[in-house]
Chain A
Amino acid sequence: MSWTGKVLRINLTAGEITTEALNEEWKNDYLGSRGLATKYLSEEIDPACDPLSAENKMIMATGPLTGTMASTGGRYVVVTKGPLTNCIACSNSGGFIGAEMKSAGWDMIIFEGKSPTPVYLYIENDKAELLPADEIWGTSVWHTDEWLHAKHQDPLLRIAAVGRPAENGCLYAGIINDLHRAAGRSGVGTVMASKNLKAVAVRGTLGVGNIADPAGFMKAVNDGKAVLAENPVTGQGLPAYGTQVLMNVINEIGALPTNNMKEVQFDGAHAISGEAMHEPRKSDGRPNLTTNAACFGCTIACGRISTIDQGHFSVKNKSKYWGNSGGLEYEAAWALGADNGVDDLDALTYCNFICNEEGFDPITFGATVAAAMEMYEDGNLSKEQTGGIDFSFGSAEALTQAVDLVASGEGFGVDLALGSKRLCEKYGRPELSMSVKGLEFPAYDPRGIQGIGLNYATSNRGACHVRGYTVASEVLGIPEKTDPLTAEGKPALVKAFQDATAAVDSAGICLFTTFAWSLDNIAPQVEAACGGGWSPERLAETGERIWNMERDFNLKAGFTRADDNLPERLRTEAAKTGPAKGLVSKVEEMLPEYYELRGWDSDGVPTAETRKRLGLS
């Protein structure tokens, strides 16, 4: 129970909408959200297909805890084959639309084919229809949001939309919901736009009930909330500083990639940190941060609501950006800031606003600019090629111009919209793309945090921190402290984090709960909501099954062992400063042990025995 048991299927080619029952057997094996949607996708498309063709499908899915009172139970995912990476893409977002979908009665929405003309999907409980989107095609996410609210005369409509970069084929466009929450990575927005689907607007008033054991559920939920409130990270650090609580911490341990990962520490780290967001500005005495904010049902509230200094060059005469909007979280602040050597908090906040307004991933964007800056400084990219912009590391002006160009799809923005892998190949320096499987790294250097390097190399969607966040253990000591500088024991740590994360994502709650919660805190909530015997062990096994299914998808898409690696720089150029000085990533040393623990052969293919154990065909 706790699932609605209903799936909405939208055939965009024919303009047909049908409903079907959720596959009972699959939901017991894959739980919901990430796991269940990936199962559907794996069964329904050829993993080798062109991600931007009509053959690819896109699934929006909730989990059994989505829409309930379980803390952070508002998450939804977008699962598809990603155009930036050509592997499985699964992007998770909070905000409010996931819970709204569930409250409208749907566990999942499957989009297939391609609409002949621009459309948006409008859902009001059982009623679902495709409506023309010609008037909003070619406009931003924020404009689309305003237009839809006005058109339907409903201020409570929850909206997810794509902006201009997605329509223009930018390979890392995301889907933005509730103005500044994002299913941001792998280019899931590009897939949505390739189907001529501009937006999904949902109003659900049925509510989420169907709880297997109501009294047990409220107890498990309240116990879970108490654990989050008492934990220093989820109870104090995240509400006060958001994920930006990490900027100074990671810089100090020498794992803050700087200037396209040439360095591991950034002099300007404090200026762009969570602490700095609280400091009053010289100009108007207000801090960057107005307040923290929560996603649906979340008792942590890590979200940032910020303003930009009205006198800052990026927003001069642009009053549209003078109000409050979604502020910087750590990954964005790092990618836009440290990775480009830019320490101008207002410039970074401006770029963040634009990434939300127009719908593209600030991590990939920032890391792509960083690669461009290195090529510019090395002379591979000329000023003519950048359209007259001085692309030197540290230039806030170059960064803000770049963000405007990707938003509009003009000039050098066309090249930047390719992502770092294709950009570096185009200008003859493929080794300068700091990515795995085409997805750029987030904000942790694998030389100073060894485990995260192995996770990047093996993550099924490319270099991603939220697939196995070993930083929790290696840096913060959660659940127990391991030495970030050693490779020893890391394969087992990575596997455990990857499997648990797959289960957490599939339940419909936020990964950030796991700073305080283990599967022991989550299982009672899932079990009381769903029934059927969800123990911590079964959740971990479900996570492992999901991980192997995603791996299978990638193998069928043509990926091999050779793709489970880090760029040469991280394996050969040692960290120059900080605690990791002299170290490189030992990823190649860790990989064989990881394969073995996973029950994969030396080519990284799950053995027959492993498949049998996990019930995979």
Chain B
Amino acid sequence: MQKSLVINPDKCTGCLQCELACSYENEGVFNPSKSRIKVFTFHQEGRFVPYTCTQCSEAWCQQACPVNAITLNLQTGAKEVNESSCVGCKVCTIACPFGTVNYNHSSGKVIKCDLCGGNPKCVEACPTQAITYVDADQTGLEKMRQWATETDNNTATA
């Protein structure tokens, strides 16, 4: 079964535990600026929105890379950056329509989410289940469940 990251911004408190877990797993330091997942804060609206790579099937980043450094992990479905082939040209960061591939100044390579090989640390760290890792065929399940509870006319839900 292939799984996907599903993010529900309604539940996010902006604590950055996901960014800390991600950077520690990948860089060995707690460092939000090197995280592959980012939480965006909208002050006026009072909203926090975590965002990371959606692992597109026909990935723009993969197609744009001139040295084929981005490859598919068949098991997880992740598009992974091969550090040794990446030349740091940043074409993929331009190609990605969502801005989820980023350049790492210290290594001179790009970084993106690789689903931690199938055990995403951000999911483990999130205290509110705003980030979940679920069956890729059922990513809408939680939304539907929520809709069903809200519209169930037998229970008084506020």
From A69, A290, A299, A301, give the contact of B30 (CB < 8 A).
A69
A218, closest chain B residue (CB): B24
B72 interface residue per 8 A CB criterion = no
A96, closest chain B residue (CB): B16
Binary per-residue interface labels of chain A (58-98) against chain B in the complex, 1 for a CB within 8 Å, 0 otherwise: 00000000011101000000000000000000000000000
Binary per-residue interface labels of chain B (26-57) against chain A in the complex, 1 for a CB within 8 Å, 0 otherwise: 01111111100000000111111000000000
Stretch at the interface among A131-139, A201-209, A478-486: A201-209
From B13, B15, B30, give the contact of A208 (CB < 8 A).
B30
A111 interface residue per 8 A CB criterion = no
CB distance from B106 to the nearest CB of A (A): 9
Given the complex of chains A and B, what is the CA–CA distance between A296 and B32 in angstroms? 10
Given the complex of chains A and B, what is the CA–CA distance between A48 and B46 in angstroms? 45
Which residues 1-31 of B sit at the A interface, judged by CB distance below 8 A?
13-17, 20-21, 23-24, 27-31
Which of chain A's residues have a CB closer than 8 A to the CB of B47?
A: 291
Given the complex of chains A and B, what is the CA–CA distance between A293 and B20 in angstroms? 17
Q: Are A293 and B16 in contact (CB under 8 A)?
A: no
Q: Are B46 and A69 in contact (CB under 8 A)?
A: no
Which residues 172-223 of A sit at the B interface, judged by CB distance below 8 A?
179, 204-209, 214, 218
CB distance from A274 to the nearest CB of B (A): 16
- Given the known A-B contacts A69-B125, A229-B127, are A297 and B29 also in contact in the complex, defined by CB atoms under 8 Å? no
Q: Are B24 and A69 in contact (CB under 8 A)?
A: yes
Binary per-residue interface labels of chain A (441-470) against chain B in the complex, 1 for a CB within 8 Å, 0 otherwise: 000000000000000000000000000000
Given the complex of chains A and B, what is the CA–CA distance between A297 and B31 in angstroms? 11
- Given the known A-B contacts A207-B33, A208-B29, are A301 and B43 also in contact in the complex, defined by CB atoms under 8 Å? no
Given the complex of chains A and B, what is the CA–CA distance between A239 and B128 in angstroms? 10
Binary per-residue interface labels of chain A (266-304) against chain B in the complex, 1 for a CB within 8 Å, 0 otherwise: 000000000000000000000000111111111101010
Q: Are A207 and B30 in contact (CB under 8 A)?
A: yes
Which of chain B's residues have a CB closer than 8 A to the CB of A291?
A: 13, 46-48
- Given the known A-B contacts A69-B30, A103-B31, A207-B29, are A296 and B13 also in contact in the complex, defined by CB atoms under 8 Å? no
CB distance from A389 to the nearest CB of B (A): 32
Chain B: number of interface residues, binned into ranges: 20 to 34
Which residues 113-129 of B sit at the A interface, judged by CB distance below 8 A?
125, 127-128
Q: Are B45 and A205 in contact (CB under 8 A)?
A: no
Q: Are B30 and A305 in contact (CB under 8 A)?
A: no
CB distance from A66 to the nearest CB of B (A): 10
Q: Are B31 and A301 in contact (CB under 8 A)?
A: no
Q: Are A301 and B13 in contact (CB under 8 A)?
A: yes
Q: Are B17 and A69 in contact (CB under 8 A)?
A: yes
> Chain A CB within 10 Å — which of B16, B30, B45, B47 has the most?
B30
CB distance from B22 to the nearest CB of A (A): 11
CB distance from A281 to the nearest CB of B (A): 15
A225 interface residue per 8 A CB criterion = yes
- Given the known A-B contacts A69-B21, A207-B23, A207-B31, are A294 and B13 also in contact in the complex, defined by CB atoms under 8 Å? yes
- Given the known A-B contacts A292-B13, A293-B48, A301-B15, are A179 and B27 also in contact in the complex, defined by CB atoms under 8 Å? no
Given the complex of chains A and B, what is the CA–CA distance between A323 and B46 in angstroms? 8
B38, closest chain A residue (CB): A156
A324 interface residue per 8 A CB criterion = yes
Given the complex of chains A and B, what is the CA–CA distance between A301 and B48 in angstroms? 13
Q: Are B17 and A297 in contact (CB under 8 A)?
A: yes
CB distance from A225 to the nearest CB of B (A): 7
CB distance from A471 to the nearest CB of B (A): 25
Binary per-residue interface labels of chain A (304-337) against chain B in the complex, 1 for a CB within 8 Å, 0 otherwise: 0111000000000000000111000000000000
Q: Are B14 and A324 in contact (CB under 8 A)?
A: no
CB distance from A234 to the nearest CB of B (A): 10
From A204, A205, A208, A290, give the contact of B46 (CB < 8 A).
A290
B45, closest chain A residue (CB): A324
Given the complex of chains A and B, what is the CA–CA distance between A296 and B33 in angstroms? 13
Which of chain B's residues have a CB closer than 8 A to the CB of A296?
A: 15-16
Q: Are B15 and A323 in contact (CB under 8 A)?
A: no
- Given the known A-B contacts A293-B13, A324-B45, are A299 and B127 also in contact in the complex, defined by CB atoms under 8 Å? yes
Seed contacts A208-B31, A209-B29, A298-B15; 10 additional CB < 8 Å A-B pairs: A69-B20, A69-B21, A208-B29, A225-B127, A239-B13, A293-B13, A293-B14, A297-B17, A301-B128, A305-B46
29 contacts between A and B (CB under 8 A): A69-B20, A103-B31, A205-B31, A205-B34, A206-B31, A207-B27, A207-B30, A207-B31, A208-B30, A208-B31, A209-B28, A225-B127, A239-B13, A291-B13, A293-B14, A293-B48, A294-B13, A294-B14, A297-B15, A297-B20, A299-B17, A301-B13, A301-B15, A301-B127, A323-B43, A323-B45, A324-B44, A324-B46, A325-B43
Q: Which 9 A-B pairs have the closest CB atoms?
A: A207-B31, A207-B29, A324-B46, A294-B15, A209-B29, A299-B127, A323-B44, A301-B13, A290-B46
B-side residues, CB < 8 A to A, are: 13-17, 20-21, 23-24, 27-34, 43-48, 105, 125, 127-128
